Structure 1
């Protein structure tokens, strides 16, 4: 699959890599294994940020073009909560935090399948104010980037 065809929020399965042995071993140590699902977090003309398991990695266009990716049939298209438009209603599908941070987010009511309404953003975009389970919650943008959601059809004003 070509670099320009990769869509933010979509998952792809790694089916092969075309690199030198040393670079292939390094990428494998980072989690890029054949058969592994890779989610596209963000993308520019020259760089891309991907999620492999619970790790986020920035790669350049040349590295991504050396990987053979196919659309992952097992996962629907998800986007980070930090990229959702104001007034959107979403469903929390995945929490990519680990350890104490994941526990803290879950203790605040952020669990899989929960409806979230993005109420507003601070003037500089951090923090976000959401409505979840009938109460207001402010999240840092860095925390919202770890929460992957699916969009609902409804948009509220």
Structure 2
């Protein structure tokens, strides 16, 4: 298990765990970041990520991406 920030552009990973406060986890869940879902890293700029979740592309800053543990 590693934080999402460790994934490289083009990698498709599965979310294993989401850490942080309840409101942070709820916000990420509303965006589609739920355990066992697939996430594809589209691009990475200075630790900030652009990811594809389901049919949406989202930008995540480094601190938020570090809370998403993938495998």
Give the TM-score taking structure 2 as reference length: 0.90
Q: How does 1:29-108 map to 2 (within 5 A)?
A: 29-70=30-71
Q: Which residue does 1:19 correspond to in 2?
A: 20
Distance in 1, Cα, partners of 2:17 & 2:9: 21
Distance in 2, Cα, partners of 1:15 & 1:31: 13
The DSSP-based 3-state class of the residue aligned with 2:63 is helix
Structure with more contact order per residue of length (Cα contacts < 8 Å, sep ≥ 6): 2
Structure 1 unaligned regions, length at least 5? 71-157
The DSSP-based 3-state class of the residue aligned with 1:12 is strand
Q: Which residue does 1:139 correspond to in 2?
A: none
Distance in 1, Cα, partners of 2:25 & 2:43: 23
Distance in 2, Cα, partners of 1:30 & 1:11: 17
1:42 CA drift (Å): 0.3
Distance in 2, Cα, partners of 1:37 & 1:65: 16
RMSD: 1.0
Please give the per-residue CA displacement for 1:69-120, whole angstroms capped at 9, x wherever unaligned.
11xxxxxxxxxxxxxxxxxxxxxxxxxxxxxxxxxxxxxxxxxxxxxxxxxx
1:46 CA drift (Å): 3.1
- Misfit runs of 4+, over 3 Å: none
The DSSP-based 3-state class of the residue aligned with 1:40 is strand
Distance in 1, Cα, partners of 2:56 & 2:65: 16
Distance in 1, Cα, partners of 2:14 & 2:47: 21
Q: Which residue does 1:141 correspond to in 2?
A: none
